[in-house]
Amino acid sequence: MSAADLLGVVLQKTPLDALHRRLGARMVEFAGYEMPLQYAGIMAEHNACRASAALFDVSHMGQVEIADAARFERLVPGDILGLKPGRQRYTLLLNEAGGIIDDLMVANLGPHLQLVLNAGRKEIDVAHIRGHGLNVVTHFDRALLAVQGPKAVDVLPEGAGLKFMDAAELQIAGIPCVVTRSGYTGEDGFEIGCPGTSGEALAELLLARGAVPAGLGARDSLRLEAGLCLYGNDIGEQTSPVAAGLNFALSKKRLAAGHFIGSAAVNAALAEGTPQKLVGIRLDGRAPARAHAEIRVGGELVGEVTSGCFAPSLNAPIALGYVRADLAEPGALLDLIVRDKPLPGVVTALPFIPHNYVR
């Protein structure tokens, strides 16, 4: 019996729940959903994504539509009005203090924008967006699948004409889908939204074409190797995008105009710097440092780990964490405290392994 069962918590299920169970997935609670942690094993699923193609169920994410791009742009630092039809952009919902309410993907599908929101934040995001006078059409019942890896295009040849961050409405085996060439692993790949009633059939088709089912465990080690932040671990409402190294999501034109929530705080952080910065850390030995492990230098507390794992592609433990700004340059030596013992680590440039996107 799970902890959720013992506490009487009713977890939501994705449209692929029955398929996960038929495939023998080990199910766990994540963001209020029952989700597959692994099938054959985290290492095998991780390696399948790096070498071939893996299939992830990300239907717990929130898919919504917004028609008013101009008003939505006031809530984010990204250039939304400059986003051409058929293109997608990573951006941030910010509060007045410049903290991150959520990080999200925005695709211009022509008549409307499609947003993909983090699972644990989608209700908060929708309330925030509606609170600023926008109409939001939610599609939380839709399925969302991610095919990731160097052979992703072999699994989804219908998407071969797309480049990284392209978005298109496509038919896949007669199923109407919204396909973006993007993902959360650092590999080439696609995210595919479709009606929830068609999700299982689409997943079975992609598996039959050669994709390997993969769960949350591999998704986390893959995104960590790719140096990608996880909301709730590496970023949150108290986090400046400048401290998190997300400057690429800040439009210079929008920063200059300042017409978005949190613009004053973000511009101040850019001008003055931040006390801490998010860095990649590679550890000696085999033991990983997990979230909340202390980071010390000469016994002095200088930061905290936000995410950590053993990286299969590097055969070494890695971590993300915030450290004092003067210690954020690659090569800085740190001690990460695990079970009251210091583990030597070194600040390492991100990503830990190169991204393989199709430009």
Between CA 207 and CA 216 the distance in angstroms is: 17
Domain that holds residue 304: 275-348
**Calculated CA dihedral for residues 247, 252, 255, 261, nearest 10 degrees:** -60
| 35 and 81 in a common domain | no
Instruction: Indicate which CATH number applies to the domain containing 198.
Output: 3.30.1360.120
Q: Which two tokens mark 94?
A: 């910010």
| 25 and 47 in a common domain | yes
Any domain includes 150: yes
What end-to-end distance do the CA atoms of the chain give, in Å? 46
| 53 and 9 in a common domain | yes
104-152 per-position pLDDT tens digit: 999 999 999 999 999 999 999 999 999 999 999 999 999 999 999 999 9
| 55 and 146 in a common domain | yes
| 198 and 331 in a common domain | no
| 148 and 47 in a common domain | yes
Burial class (CB in 10 A: 0-12, 13-18, 19+), 68: middle
Q: Give the per-residue pLDDT at 113.
A: 98
| 172 and 309 in a common domain | no
Any domain includes 232: no
| 105 and 78 in a common domain | yes
Domain count, the chain: 3
Between CA 297 and CA 177 the distance in angstroms is: 51
Q: Which two tokens mark 127?
A: 């309330």
Any domain includes 230: no
Helix (H, G, I), strand (E, B) or coil at 78: coil
Task: Answer for the pair 146, 162: CB distance below 8 angstroms, yes or no.
Answer: no
Any domain includes 357: no
Taking only the tens of pLDDT, the chain with its 359 residues reads 444 554 467 999 999 999 999 999 999 999 999 999 999 999 999 999 999 999 999 999 999 999 999 999 999 999 999 999 999 999 999 999 999 999 999 999 999 999 999 999 999 999 999 999 999 999 999 999 999 999 999 999 999 999 999 999 999 999 999 999 999 999 999 999 999 999 999 999 999 999 999 999 999 999 999 999 999 999 999 999 999 999 999 999 999 999 999 999 999 999 999 999 999 999 999 999 999 999 999 999 999 999 999 999 999 999 999 999 999 999 999 999 999 999 999 999 999 999 999 98
| 111 and 66 in a common domain | yes
Task: Answer for the pair 61, 229: CB distance below 8 angstroms, yes or no.
Answer: no
| 102 and 55 in a common domain | no
| 154 and 92 in a common domain | no
| 82 and 17 in a common domain | no
Helix (H, G, I), strand (E, B) or coil at 296: strand
